[in-house]
Amino acid sequence: MAAALPALALGAGLLVAAWRWLRGAARPGRGGSMRGKTVIITGANSGLGRAAAAELLRMRARVIMGCRDRARAERAAREIRAEVGERADGAGELVVRELDLASLRSVRAFCHRVLQEESRLDVLINNAGIFQCPYMKTEDGFEMQFGVNHLGHFLLTNLLLGLLKNSAPSRIVVVSSKLYKYGEINFEDLNSEISYNKSFCYSRSKLANILFARELARRLEGSGVTVNSLHPGIVRTNLGRHVNIPLLAKPLFNLVSWAFFKTPLEGAQTSIYLASSPDVEGVSGKYFGDCKEEELLPKAMDDLVARKLWDISEVMVGLLK
């Protein structure tokens, strides 16, 4: 039996490698040229956002990387430029701008600069997120996951809506998660002052993303601005840095994640697809996974909850007094 273990391990490794190759081969093609288009991606210095920024730069877009840590973002931008290469025609550009979604002041400053400097905005990808962190609050006193994942992006999107409308046809892409299924919108404790469960609060913020996207799509009907949400699948990124994995279990976890989790580029494909593909031109208010429309649970399609969440969010971020 012991002699057979190496052969079994080799066979399993080959099967996993073949499966990963087939999964990569099945990836949809790029959506074509994005030349002349401006794209904002939040959290673009790592993970899904970095992968999307690199691909959209390859497609000749002007990509604005909205990132909390400017030094890390500048380093990521240099690496992406080196990977993609300079184009002789000058098409495609990476621009780094500071954006801390845990600070409404920072969100407003970022949007003010964008509105001052940019003549158009074709795509906004709300990608940045924080995952299952210990209980902490944003600069404005909001529970961190709800504040960053939902409220920061809610304010950002609303402040940029005028530019998006003026640039129509334009697109808003909201990165959610399959874990929305385990969340509930508890209007009595949105800030988790009564109790805090980091897993539940993450799921709640991702449910809020979908409800926000659907309500925004309803409000933007006929404007030429489309809004869609998505889940990227299970991806190997640093999003799970707050998740504690026992030291002895880490080698096994790393092996499993290599074998079965998506790479950031694979995970970013649906964001890239919704940002660039002619297949979804005019499509709005939908939820996607693996570049295909997927069904939502009824709680993610509750229009009354979506409208109430919108109204409360407007007050929380100071759009309404």
Q: How far apart are CA 221 and CA 178, in angstroms?
A: 26
The half-sphere exposure of 119 on its side-chain side, counting CA atoms within 13 A, is 2
Take residue 156 and report the two structure tokens written for it.
């950002």
Active site residue 273: no
HEC string of the chain?
CHHHHHHHHHHHHHHHHHHHHHHHHCCCCCCCCCCCCEEEEECCCCHHHHHHHHHHHHCCCEEEEEECCHHHHHHHHHHHHHHHCCCCCCCCEEEEEECCCCCHHHHHHHHHHHHHHCCCCCEEEECCCCCCCCCCECCCCCEHHHHHHHHHHHHHHHHHHHHHHHCCCEEEEEECCHHHHHCCCCCCCCCCCCCCCHHHHHHHHHHHHHHHHHHHHHHCCCCCEEEEEEECCCECCHHHHHCCCCHHHHHHHHHHHHHHCECHHHHCHHHHHHHHCHHHCCCCCCEEECCEECCCCHHHHCHHHHHHHHHHHHHHCCCCC
The per-residue b/e assignment along 274-297, b for 16 or more CB within 10 angstroms, e otherwise, is bbbbeebeebbbbbbebbeeeebe
Which of these is catalytic: 135, 182, 196, 202?
Answer: 202
Residues pairing with 39 in the sheet:
63, 123
Catalytic site positions = 202
